[in-house]
Copies of this chain bind each other. A is one copy, B any other.
């Protein structure tokens, strides 16, 4: 299985347009051992010819151009066979509206997620110009589905949606009642090799289902939004703690690094990094700690083969 990180930052990217925190200021000035990152999006393929996107960031156009295997091979064509969406946050969904050039799209999502994106969203009409412009394939928690292109040709991969503690996207807050189908991670399995990718980029807590979904994975991508609970309040950049935004911090005795100690996966990678996260600095003590524990930090352009 081929895994290519197209974008590795949390919503807003790194640097963020209106942020002058130490990380953002210094990376712009070239004074930081760090590289800029676009918003989270990952491409996965079994054969190298048919690709599936995990999430669809607002920067999708630039991200597709950054990776030649995603370029068209005909006058109107795309090697992107389908798109899987983890939750309704705009940094995961807005890019769908950028893929509006009358191209048939296949989107895998829970029914909740589909309704949250399509109901009451006049902009979605841009993806409804002809019958079949979007084919939604419904993901049910705990049920494995075959990934296939728009014509139903199997791509050699299976996906299972895993419930993760999350929250409704900001634009749906105060509307719908929260539901376990609002936020999911993916277990993507390649039957020909038995390899498993566990992709959980937004996780509020390590529950039993979360832990089980990671145990036999060969590669784990995990929520790397914040290093500490009070990262934003301490910098004067927000009032909410990490957990209130449904992101388990990495550091601390109850953080994900401690909670996920002992995972067998050969590759363990933090992704969805907020611009304030000290892990973004290649020479930070926090980076040294996660690397000493066998974890990596995702960057745009990173490739993993399992």
B-side contacts of A90, CB under 8 Å? 97-98, 100, 123, 126
B-side contacts of A59, CB under 8 Å? 59, 61-62
Q: How far is the CA of A99 from the CA of B124 in the complex (A)?
A: 19
A204 on the interface (CB 8 Å rule)? no
Are the CB atoms of B28 and A122 closer together than 8 Å? no
Q: Given A171-B123, A171-B125, answer yes or no on A101-B17 (Cβ-Cβ < 8 Å).
A: yes
Within 8 A of B (CB), among A11-50: 11-13, 15-21, 24-25, 28, 36, 38-39
B-side contacts of A172, CB under 8 Å? 122, 125
Q: Which of B19, B60, B74, B129 contacts A72 (CB 8 A)?
A: B19
Instruction: Give the number of copies in the complex.
Output: 2
A103 on the interface (CB 8 Å rule)? yes
A261 on the interface (CB 8 Å rule)? no
Are the CB atoms of B76 and A18 closer together than 8 Å? yes
Which chain B residue has the least Cβ–Cβ distance from A65?
B15
Q: Given A36-B65, A62-B62, answer yes or no on A19-B76 (Cβ-Cβ < 8 Å).
A: yes
Q: Given A65-B36, A75-B237, answer yes or no on A17-B122 (Cβ-Cβ < 8 Å).
A: no
B-side contacts of A39, CB under 8 Å? 61
Q: How large is the interface on A (under 10, 10 to 19, 20 to 34, 35 or more residues)?
A: 35 or more
Are the CB atoms of A78 and B171 closer together than 8 Å? no
B-side contacts of A95, CB under 8 Å? 58
B-side contacts of A18, CB under 8 Å? 72, 76-78, 99, 101, 103
- The smallest C-beta distance from A39 to any residue of chain B, in angstroms, reads 8
A119 on the interface (CB 8 Å rule)? yes
Q: Mark A45-72, 1 if CB is under 8 A from B, else 0.
A: 0000000000000111110110010111
A253 on the interface (CB 8 Å rule)? no
A177 on the interface (CB 8 Å rule)? no
Q: How far is the CA of A190 from the CA of B78 in the complex (A)?
A: 46
Which chain B residue has the least Cβ–Cβ distance from A95?
B58
Are the CB atoms of A122 and B119 closer together than 8 Å? yes
Within 8 A of B (CB), among A58-115: 58-62, 64-65, 68, 70-78, 90, 94-95, 97-101, 103
A and B contact pairs by CB, cutoff 8 A, 22 listed? A15-B65, A17-B61, A17-B72, A17-B98, A18-B77, A18-B101, A19-B75, A19-B76, A20-B77, A24-B72, A25-B72, A28-B65, A28-B71, A59-B62, A90-B98, A94-B98, A119-B122, A120-B121, A121-B121, A122-B172, A125-B172, A129-B170
A21-B75, A58-B61 given. 8 additional CB < 8 A pairs? A17-B60, A17-B99, A20-B71, A20-B73, A28-B71, A76-B237, A94-B97, A126-B171
10 pairs of A and B residues whose beta carbons are closest in the complex:
A125-B171, A20-B72, A120-B122, A126-B171, A18-B78, A18-B103, A17-B64, A58-B98, A121-B122, A20-B75
